[in-house]
A and B are shown apart, each in its own frame.
Chain A
Amino acid sequence: AQTVTQSQPEMSVQEAETVTLSCTYDTSESDYYLFWYKQPPSRQMILVIRQEAYKQQNATENRFSVNFQKAAKSFSLKISDSQLGDAAMYFCAYRSARNTDKLIFGTGTRLQVFP
């Protein structure tokens, strides 16, 4: 069974600085999707960025980028120029490309942003 591990329960960053959130996963499959979701205090889960496993190029969305290391099964999220609005819970998630029924979540990392 696939698992997703986020080893950092909490992280903090100064406004305008860069922070990296870690995620590792375990799977025997070769084709899958990885996601970072943001959950602000309003609770609604918002997709931040996604990565297809077959793509070697790391995904980027404005200030958010990932470091996808397929062999190491690592999928970290880098937030550049951090803003106060980035403060939230961040969840890493895995979804098989073949068995598309389920999204498997890590336990989350709470990010605090200090002015």
Chain B
Amino acid sequence: NAGVTQTPKFRILKIGQSMTLQCTQDMNHNYMYWYRQDPGMGLKLIYYSVGAGITDKGEVPNGYNVSRSTTEDFPLRLELAAPSQTSVYFCASSYSAGVFNTGELFFGEGSRLTVL
């Protein structure tokens, strides 16, 4: 009963390095999301996907890229890491099909990223 799985859970990067946060879900959800959570703040949407091959920007997409080649996987790539990208990143998924929409998002456990 894995749900949404994110890796790695912790990572320290140097300024200018690149990395990919992995996210996979086994619930056959069509929607997937990446959020970031800064200290004392709520979650802000980075990118989302409504299905394989389709991605779109959220509130704070700059400095990130995503791809969605399969229903299960939604990796988030950080290019040229900056201290401003120090945050906790959450992947989430949900299912929506026409009028059937529970509205609920299922979250991974988060990935804490520090850029020094």
Residues on A facing B (Cβ under 8 Å): 4, 9, 33, 35, 42-47, 50, 52, 91, 95, 97, 100-103, 105-108
Cα–Cα, bound, A51→B26 (Å): 26
Cross-chain pairs A/B with CB under 8 angstroms, 7 sampled:
A44-B107, A44-B108, A45-B43, A45-B92, A100-B94, A101-B31, A103-B33
| B110: contacting residue among A43, A50, A52, CB under 8 A | A43
Interface residues of B: mostly helix, strand, loop or mixed?
strand
15 further A-B contacts with Cβ under 8 Å, apart from A102-B33, A105-B44, are: A43-B109, A45-B43, A45-B90, A45-B105, A45-B107, A52-B103, A91-B43, A95-B103, A101-B56, A102-B58, A103-B45, A103-B105, A105-B43, A107-B41, A108-B42
| Contact indicator A97/B103 (Cβ below 8 Å) | yes
| Contact indicator A44/B109 (Cβ below 8 Å) | yes
B20 within 8 A of A: no
Cα–Cα, bound, A91→B35 (Å): 14
| B48: contacting residue among A4, A46, A52, A102, CB under 8 A | A102
A102's nearest neighbour on chain B, judged by CB, is B45
B106's nearest neighbour on chain A, judged by CB, is A47
Which of A35, A43, A106 has most B Cβ within 10 Å? Answer: A43
Cα–Cα, bound, A42→B48 (Å): 24
B101 within 8 A of A: yes
